[in-house]
Structure 1
């Protein structure tokens, strides 16, 4: 069950009752958690395909494999996060009904579930270049550490941004780009994704601001509080600059800039302006829905550039 969905019926309620808590732990009542991981992967893959003129069949194959791996990785990461967060979740009303805190899943069973899904995600790496498996190591290390970040630093959103955005490097590596972190376009998209994650997850963390302060959980929402929106506007400006630099670095068309920057500016500016950070329901709605235009804008801009280059030979 999503933490804010109340008694609304979910797609997996038709499954056997013993399965439902595991679906809840995966947070997949909507496809948002999967796509927040998947988007950076396909950004890297399509960007590398455009730069290196990779054939369409290979690009489609790679994006399909990355999607399969993303589903399993998302399940494993959410389960791991819920295991480590369980002591904190019990103290916060919004999260106290998650499967582990309410006793629907034992931590040992949740760990087994996370391990099975981690193996499932790793299996998809067998379908990709050998170097791609090595490229996933930073994401794995960051994901393992992330649940503790909110105990250690106010910049847990930056840690999460790094974990998710490294998918750009994984996607580019899957398209046979050697050392993708040395390519300016992929690097700029990676950094832009980090800022994007910080923006939407800081809004998300405002849902529990007072409770987090009470129990001692750290976040950028706790650090910034009433100054959050001012910082988010600055981060959005930096994100847009990075997307422009990504295009310039690889001589991408003006259409890429128009779609990527225009879409991100419209959607993220609207989200920052409209969200009421003092109302948890508003924070949830914009977090769950506000990323779609941004995510698809960057994806379509890179896809357009890739198909344009293929058509020009």
Structure 2
């Protein structure tokens, strides 16, 4: 639709436009936010964190990822119309007004904050950092080639919040997990940015995919190795056993598969590697949860 089109939308069309604005039709981003949060909850609680805390974090992941997508499209409203992949996004297509999107972003943040109020004061105070990082990230691509690092920080902020919610403290061991999550974002979001590289160069938007250039596959490989080493360290810090380390073998296998996809040098295959990355987080979560369960039974 032309952005100047003033034809009123039906309720169904409006609802679908907001679903697209929040990317609820593309839930992989929710998983990428959620898995590190659940790592932190299980490690912080030493097992199942309880239904209240779990429900708040799952709902919060959906709401804050949605809010991040909304503010991203608001920030990129003057760019998206010039990019083939994004020109049909609701704001760029004129389906949702920029001011309405900004108000909607604030509403989503307020709902998420309302949920956090069910938790302890430390978690409530940390939640303010999550909103700041979510709002900051979309604008970084104009000033730095490392916007993926800011995305990683926004996604990783759920880690200290997870420890705060379960242990009412943020031990130093939480910060290596924070860094690992940030590195993971550099892996998958660089793969995502490969598909936008040509359009980003035309409109002057920066990314790690542009920064790394022809070395992008090799650099992603270095980040994958760093993440694996970091996850091994986490196993040591939290005294996790063979089940957890077996899951890291599966992670290594997934990373090799992603390297194979990236080696095809096709944007569509890089995007496939991005989509497949959420299984990395899921496998790590399974390793943590099953390992802790066996330890509680005295088996591991």
Normalised by the size of structure 2, how large is the TM-score?
0.91
What 5-or-longer segments of structure 1 have no aligned partner? Answer: 1-14
Residue pair 1:156, 1:219 contacting (<8 A) in 2 also? yes
Paired residue for 2:7? none
**Aligned-partner SS, 1:70:** helix
Residue pair 1:271, 1:286 contacting (<8 A) in 2 also? yes
- TM-superposed CA distance for 1:230, in Å, is 0.8
**Aligned-partner SS, 2:60:** helix
Taking a change above 3 Å as real, the CA distance of residues 162 and 271 of structure 1, as seen in their structure-2 partners, is: same
- TM-superposed CA distance for 1:16, in Å, is 1.2
Paired residue for 2:160? 169
Distance in structure 1 (CA, Å) of the matches to 2:209 and 2:156 = 20
Taking a change above 3 Å as real, the CA distance of residues 276 and 90 of structure 1, as seen in their structure-2 partners, is: farther
Distance in structure 2 (CA, Å) of the matches to 1:277 and 1:87 = 32
What 5-or-longer segments of structure 2 have no aligned partner? Answer: 1-10
Distance in structure 1 (CA, Å) of the matches to 2:295 and 2:118 = 26
- TM-superposed CA distance for 1:202, in Å, is 0.3
Paired residue for 2:260? 273
Distance in structure 1 (CA, Å) of the matches to 2:223 and 2:292 = 27
Paired residue for 2:232? 244
Distance in structure 1 (CA, Å) of the matches to 2:121 and 2:294 = 29
Residue pair 1:62, 1:128 contacting (<8 A) in 2 also? yes
Q: Residues 133-282 of structure 1 correspond to what in structure 2 (within 5 A)?
A: 133-180=124-171, 182-183=172-173, 186-259=174-247, 261-275=248-262, 278-282=265-269
- TM-superposed CA distance for 1:303, in Å, is 0.6
From 79, 87, 109, the counterpart of 1:88: 79
Paired residue for 2:273? 286
Normalised by the size of structure 1, how large is the TM-score?
0.87
Paired residue for 1:97? 88
Distance in structure 2 (CA, Å) of the matches to 1:264 and 1:95 = 31
Q: Residues 105-120 of structure 1 correspond to what in structure 2 (within 5 A)?
A: 105-120=96-111
> What's the CA shift string for 1:104-129, capped at 9, x where partnerless?
00001111211111111111102211
> What's the CA shift string for 1:213-246, capped at 9, x where partnerless?
1111110001111100111111111101100111
Kindly tell me the number of residue pairs found equivalent between the two proteins.
289
Is 1:300 the counterpart of 2:280? The answer is: no
Is 1:38 the counterpart of 2:34? The answer is: yes
- TM-superposed CA distance for 1:271, in Å, is 0.8
Distance in structure 2 (CA, Å) of the matches to 1:164 and 1:128 = 19
CA RMSD of the aligned region, Å? 1.8
Distance in structure 2 (CA, Å) of the matches to 1:176 and 1:130 = 12
Distance in structure 1 (CA, Å) of the matches to 2:64 and 2:279 = 23
- TM-superposed CA distance for 1:69, in Å, is 1.6
